[in-house]
Amino acid sequence: MTNAHHIDEARLGIMLNELRLPTIKSLWPQFAEQADQEGWPAARFLCAIAEHELAERAHRRVERHLSEAHLPPGKTLDSFAFDAVPMVSKAQVMAMAAGDSWLAKGANVLLFGPPGGGKSHLAAAIGLALIENGWRVLFTRTTDLVQKLQVARRELQIESAIAKLDKFDLLILDDLAYVTKDQAETSVLFELISARYERRSIMITANQPFGEWNKVFPDPAMTLAAVDRLVHHATIFEMNVESYRRRSAMEAKRQRGRPAAFATIRNTPQIVAGRQSETDEALDPDIYADQDV
């Protein structure tokens, strides 16, 4: 190899560093050798190394987004027991995992049901699938985020803190019901819901139906306003099934030869998608009281 070739390779390495093309820098020598051996035209060679650069960038982007999402480990759609939650449509969940239609509109997803029914698993699994499809997601316990927003408010940084959350296409608020009934806490939560309304999506898991949300928001007007914003452009999953954890424990007892009694899954309406909050609903909290959603 001539000195000119060495100089060209050194210059190429420097230029690829400047252009931030590490994959091409790493792979181009072996692709160039293959191209020389097989007589590739220049366009084919360039396409081959460019495709690898793009694929590696996509992989690194997903890894970054997974790191920032704080998803609980092991919660995937493949490991979710759809047969144990018959009121949840697997086909619809899989369609939602792409995210294109609803995230672009800032629509919401609400998951209701008793503890242990798989709400958090399903929310995290959808979040994981969305990240793999190029979206940005943050999974957080509602109480943890509310506490951070309270600190931001005391430091007069609440607007900036909420604005920073805009980088996430989906904000998953797990266990909404565990926010304490405190005006300071619930007001920052309401500010967050209002700020993202019709702009960025929120996914919420909660044990209580809307009729019991006065335990979360002490102000009835704030309760109605929060519900109205959340259910507008929302998909609602009703997951009123026996606890996964209890079911697993009973199954373990059964396998050890002990008698086990299994609760019957209570049938509920399947999924309420895109439900609009009407004015009369917003004015009358009792309309939600008997809806176990």
| Same domain, yes or no: 35 and 102 | no
| Same domain, yes or no: 158 and 277 | yes
Q: For the range 185-190, what are the long-range contacts, defined as Cβ-Cβ under 8 Å and sequence gap of 24 or more?
A: 185/146, 185/147, 185/150, 186/216, 186/217, 186/218, 186/219, 186/222, 187/222, 188/146, 188/149, 188/150, 188/153, 188/158, 189/142, 189/146, 189/149, 189/216, 189/217, 189/226, 190/217, 190/222, 190/225, 190/226
Q: Write the pLDDT tens digit of every residue in 55-102.
A: 899 899 999 999 999 999 999 999 999 998 888 999 999 999 988 889
Q: What is the pLDDT of residue 283?
A: 34
Residue 209 CB: number of other CB atoms within 10 A?
17
| Same domain, yes or no: 61 and 141 | no
Report d(CA 223, CA 217) in Å as an integer: 5
Closest CA to 170 of 194, 204, 211, 146: 204
Contact status, residue 262 vs residue 253, Cβ threshold 8 Å? no
Report d(CA 50, CA 239) in Å as an integer: 46
| Same domain, yes or no: 10 and 101 | no
State the Rg of the chain over Cα: 25
- Domain boundary among the residues 11, 34, 67 is at 67
| Same domain, yes or no: 55 and 75 | no
Contact status, residue 157 vs residue 109, Cβ threshold 8 Å? no
Domain residues for 113?
Answer: 71-289
Contact status, residue 123 vs residue 172, Cβ threshold 8 Å? yes
Q: What is the pLDDT of residue 262?
A: 36
| Same domain, yes or no: 275 and 151 | yes
Task: List the beta bridge partners of residue 203.
Answer: 109, 172
Closest CA to 178 of 229, 221, 119: 119
Residues in the chain predicted with pLDDT less than 50, given as ranges, are 259-293
- Domain boundary among the residues 17, 33, 67 is at 67
Alpha helices (H) in 70-166, listed in sequence order: 90-96, 100-103, 119-132, 142-154, 158-164
Q: What is the pLDDT of residue 194?
A: 94
| Same domain, yes or no: 166 and 257 | yes
Q: How many domains does the chain have?
A: 2
Contact status, residue 222 vs residue 186, Cβ threshold 8 Å? yes
Both structure tokens of 21? 């093309």
- Domain boundary among the residues 67, 100, 121 is at 67
| Same domain, yes or no: 233 and 104 | yes
| Same domain, yes or no: 190 and 115 | yes
| Same domain, yes or no: 188 and 120 | yes
What is the domain-level CATH number for residue 236? 3.40.50.300
Amino acid sitting at position 143: T
| Same domain, yes or no: 166 and 204 | yes
| Same domain, yes or no: 92 and 54 | no
